[in-house]
Chain A
Amino acid sequence: DGGITQSPKYLFRKEGQNVTLSCEQNLNHDAMYWYRQDPGQGLRLIYYSQIVNDFQKGDIAEGYSVSREKKESFPLTVTSAQKNPTAFYLCASRKGRRNTGELFFGEGSRLTVL
């Protein structure tokens, strides 16, 4: 079945460590997104990519980095510069660029900084 796979589902990190969250899709979608979800704040956009080898900052990109070397993959690195990294991270993708497209979400990765 086609879909978006995020891993790991749960991740614990010590302060000062970088961590990378994986996002893979087999939907042949062009655009991919990373959102951060905090209780009572909805979802906020971290980074997005519309095509391979290109990506743009979202609303809260500081302390995060991404790459888009393959259409199927859009990993997110949470660096030690991110001051409050404990959150639920959601990856999404969208087919094509025309019209208002539906976003397809993965099941998320929960990062906890100890």
Chain B
Amino acid sequence: GDSVTQMEGPVTLSEEAFLTINCTYTATGYPSLFWYVQYPGEGLQLLLKATKADDKGSNKGFEATYRKETTSFHLEKGSVQVSDSAVYFCALSFTNAGGTSYGKLTFGQGTILTVHP
């Protein structure tokens, strides 16, 4: 079945460091890919997404590129802040041939990021 694998955490960085969180997927077909973020005590919110190969999603200084050849969607940020401390989830979802998505997301296990001042 479909699956998403994220790099093991937790990740601890100093403020202004470069961030990479790896994400690879296994799927039969061409899913849309997402990064969701969960701040402490809250639900998840969409951070960015990409719907086809070579698309780059970006938001709040974060970016990720949909790489079909390596089935990857790595999350990057050039300079992290303390406020970026959260759990980050990579996820995939499918659109059927008619362009309708049932919205079922398959999530990775999450990566805890802690940024120190």
Q: How far is the CA of A28 from the CA of B53 in the complex (A)?
A: 31
Residues in B with CB closer than 8 Å to A100 are 32, 49, 51, 93, 95, 101, 103
Tell me if A85 is interfacial: C-beta within 8 Å of chain B. no
Chain A interface, DSSP helix/strand/loop, else mixed: strand
Q: How far is the CA of A94 from the CA of B101 in the complex (A)?
A: 10
Tell me if B42 is interfacial: C-beta within 8 Å of chain A. yes
Among the stretches B12-20, B67-75, B107-115, the one at the interface with A is: B107-115
Q: Are B104 and A48 in contact (CB under 8 A)?
A: yes
Which of these, B41, B99, B100, B105, contacts A103 with CB under 8 Å? B105
Which of these, A40, A45, A90, contacts B44 with CB under 8 Å? A90
Tell me if A42 is interfacial: C-beta within 8 Å of chain B. yes
* Interface residues on chain A, size class: 20 to 34
Which residues of A from 26 to 57 have beta carbons under 8 Å from B? 31, 33, 35, 40-45, 48, 50
Which of these, A41, A42, A43, A48, contacts B103 with CB under 8 Å? A48
Residues in A with CB closer than 8 Å to B4 are 42
Closest residue of B by beta carbon distance from A6: B43
Tally of chain B residues near chain A (CB < 8 A): 24
Q: Are A105 and B45 in contact (CB under 8 A)?
A: yes
Residues in A with CB closer than 8 Å to B107 are 35, 42-44
Give chain A nearest CB distance to B110 CB in angstroms.
Answer: 5
* With known contacts A42-B110, A90-B43, A106-B43, A101–B101 Cβ distance under 8 A: yes
Which residues of A from 77 to 114 have beta carbons under 8 Å from B? 90, 92, 94, 97-108
What sequence of 0s and 1s flags, for each residue 45-56 of chain B, a beta carbon within 8 Å of any chain A beta carbon?
110010100000
* With known contacts A40-B109, A43-B89, A50–B102 Cβ distance under 8 A: yes
Residues of A within 8 A of B (CB): 4, 6, 31, 33, 35, 40-45, 48, 50, 58, 90, 92, 94, 97-108
Residues of B within 8 A of A (CB): 4, 32, 41-46, 49, 51, 89, 93, 95, 99-105, 107-110
- 15 new A-B pairs (CB below 8 Å) besides A102-B49, A105-B45? A31-B102, A41-B109, A42-B89, A42-B107, A42-B109, A43-B105, A45-B104, A48-B104, A58-B104, A98-B101, A99-B99, A100-B49, A100-B103, A105-B43, A107-B43
